[in-house]
Amino acid sequence: MKFGGTSLATTKLIETAAARVADIHHEGHELLVVVSAMGGVTNQLVGYVEEITQHHDLMEYDSVISAGEQISSGLMAIALQNLGVPARSWQCWQIPFRANSVHKNAEIQHIDTTAIVANLAKQRTVAVCSGFQGLTEENRIATLGRSGSDTSAVALACAFQADECIIYTDVDGIYTADPRVVDDAHPLKRISYEEMLELSYLGAKVIHNRAVSLAMAYNLPLWVRSSFGDERGTVITTGDNEMEGEIVRGVTCSQEEAKVVLSGIQDQPGRVASVFTPLATAGINVDMIVQNATQQETTEVTFTIPLNDVVRCKEILNNLRENIGFHDLVIDKNVSKISVVGIGMRSHSGVAAKAFQTLAELGINIQAIATSEIKITVLIDRKFSELAVRSLHSRYELEKAG
């Protein structure tokens, strides 16, 4: 059972979450609880670091921002004990829950289950684990990336061979679109790992993308459910024919993108590689690559990068201006990616045309397009994001989805 920040924002809410854990414990289940920091705390901790300097040591940054989880795990254990449920908190270094040293975005390496298993055996003591943190080889704490406690929960569920992993949050499941943006968005009973992977990668912040890919790799049923109600929520699982019946399952938007346009590149073998190799080496994720038709032996390449990599990308490309041999570099930070996702697209045609028509009728210009078997993504001016999401949602009649 994993509880997110909004479900733990106050001590009252922590007690409500603890009552839910107590119910499951009393039903006789063995369980592990994973907590995120109390709502707003991680942002506050990031703020403290940035008040001192933007150029901080990443190891110290991680040691500060992972502290929110230590507080909430201790409070959750106290709330459980207060309800008569034996419980104790576990920090990453106590488990140990190991991760690599890529601070701010560490990958999980190994989880030792021995100590927790031994403790669970004692009066069925509930283990309350801090999400988001991992212990590195250098004996430091690394964080798994913002929203990473979903991934901690799935990793723990896999390591303990749990029957299922339940993510308790402030919405009662995965909706056809962000319910904060689309009023008639609808909760889905089921969604496939593949669809959820695309949706979360392309902006649906309800669950951390890496949590979905880990659950998929281990075939772990992953539930998203409300902390506040009794609905069953959505199960993320393997796809089936029933899901394919509905062609489009969700619409999402990512506003954390920037568009890079490099023009005046010589149209010769190796030039494109000379642009993308250094970006790859710097760990900058490039997406939506478009190369335009050649004009007078030069060409233009457009692609997207995460908004927070703009400064580094600019620096890298400008330093290599001579090597690459481009004329102009223009970066536009006012774009957003709108995506339509559904596994039924594999067997149906015309889905993309419908999206393009919808945007055309609204007078929204498409700046780049990317597709896979199960998704269509378009890059548009950021000011049209919500209009585009709402219009596509209604064009595919997602308010009727189940």
| Count of residues interacting with ligand ADP (CB under 6 A) | 19
CB of 379 to Mg ion, least distance (A): 25
> Binding of ligand ASP at residue 209 (CB under 6 A)?
no
Token couple for 298: 């030069």
Residue position matching structure tokens 């030069």? 298
Decide: is 136 part of the binding site for Mg ion (CB under 5 A): no
Could you say which of ligand ADP, ligand ASP, Mg ion, none residue 125 binds, taking C-beta under 5 to 8 angstroms by partner kind? none
d(Cα 351, Cα 328) in Å, to the nearest integer?
35
Q: Is 173 in the site for Mg ion (CB under 5 A)?
A: no
Q: Is 317 a binder of ligand ADP (CB under 6 A)?
A: no
**What span, in angstroms and rounded, lies between the C-alpha atoms of 222 and 238?**
10
Specify the residue, 112 or 164, whose C-beta has the smaller distance to ligand ADP.
164
Structure tokens at 187: 């909760």
For residue 275, the minimal CB distance to ligand ASP (Å) is 32
Helix axes 67-82, 11-26, angle to 10 degrees: 60
Q: Which two tokens stand for residue 36?
A: 């995120």
| 68 contact choice in ligand ASP, Mg ion, ligand ADP, none (CB below 5 to 8 Å, kind-dependent) | ligand ASP
Return the residue matching tokens 């489009």.
248
Task: Specify the stretch interacting with ligand ASP by CB under 6 A; choose among 34-42, 94-102, 283-291, 347-355.
Answer: 34-42
Smallest distance from ligand ADP to CB 64, Å = 20
Q: Which of residues 129-148 bind ligand ASP (CB under 6 A)?
A: 131-132, 146-148
The structure tokens listed for 62 are 């991680």
**Amino acid letter for position 61:** Y
Longest alpha-carbon distance in the chain: 78
In the complex, least distance from residue 199 CB atom to ligand ADP, rounded to whole angstroms? 6
3-state SS class at 114 = helix
Q: Of 165 and 301, which CB lies nearer to ligand ADP in the complex structure?
A: 165
Q: Give the pair of three-digit tokens for residue 393.
A: 């949602």
According to the binding rule CB under 6 A, does residue 291 interact with ligand ADP? no
Site string for ligand ASP, 54-73 (x = CB under 6 A): --------------x-----
What ranges in 104-188 are assigned the alpha helix state H?
114-121, 149-159
Distance CA 351, CA 342 (A): 10
Instruction: For residue 198, state whether it binds ligand ADP (rule: CB under 6 A).
Output: no
Query: CB 24: neighbour CB atoms within 10 A?
Result: 16
Helices and strands in the chain: count of H runs, count of E runs: 14, 18
Scanning residues 47 to 106, which ones bind Mg ion (CB under 5 A)? Answer: none
Name the site residues for ligand ASP (rule: CB under 6 A).
4-5, 36-37, 42, 68, 131-132, 146-150
Name the site residues for Mg ion (rule: CB under 5 A).
4, 147
